[in-house]
């Protein structure tokens, strides 16, 4: 099956700096890569996603890049703010395997004011 690795497990940045979280996947057939944000005590919520036919996607301060050849994708947060502090999960999905999502182990991001 699919194996998703996520790094780093913890990340601290100063407010206003950028944060980058990286994930690798093993199954070349995976074709959908969402990122979820989970605030303390809350449910995971989708913040951005990318499909395998796209190399980059942006939404205001958040961007995701995908390198299919290297099988890795990254989340970029610019101009970080304290409210960006949360745990971020990447995931990989392949349509023809029962629609399972394989999640990374999470990155705890702390933005220091």
Q: Which residues bind other proteins (CB under 8 A)?
A: 1, 6, 9, 31-32, 34, 36, 42-46, 49, 51, 89, 93, 95-96, 98-106
Reading the block at residue 31, the tokens are: 């074709």
Q: How far is the CB of 29 from other proteins (least distance, A)?
A: 12
Which C-beta is closer to other proteins: that of 17 or that of 59? 59
107 vs 2, 6, 30, 76, CA distance in Å? 19, 7, 21, 13
Q: How far is the CB of 109 from other proteins (least distance, A)?
A: 15
Reading the block at residue 108, the tokens are: 């705890």
User: What are 90's strand-pairing partners?
Assistant: 35
Which C-beta is closer to other proteins: that of 57 or that of 78? 57
Q: How far is the CB of 113 from other proteins (least distance, A)?
A: 26
d(CA 75, CA 26): 18
């Amino acid at each position: 099956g699919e194996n998703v690795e996520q790094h780093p497990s913890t990340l601290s940045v100063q407010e206003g700096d950028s944060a980058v979280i990286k994930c690798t996947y093993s199954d070349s057939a995976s074709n959908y890569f969402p990122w979820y944000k989970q605030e303390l005590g809350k449910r995971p919520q989708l913040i951005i996603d990318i499909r395998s036919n796209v190399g980059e996607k942006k939404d205001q301060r958040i961007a995701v890049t995908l390198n299919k050849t290297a099988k890795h994708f990254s989340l970029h947060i610019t101009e970080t703010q304290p409210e960006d502090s949360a745990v971020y999960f990447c995931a990989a999905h392949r349509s023809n395997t029962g629609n399972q999502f394989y999640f990374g182990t999470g990155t705890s991001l702390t933005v220091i004011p």
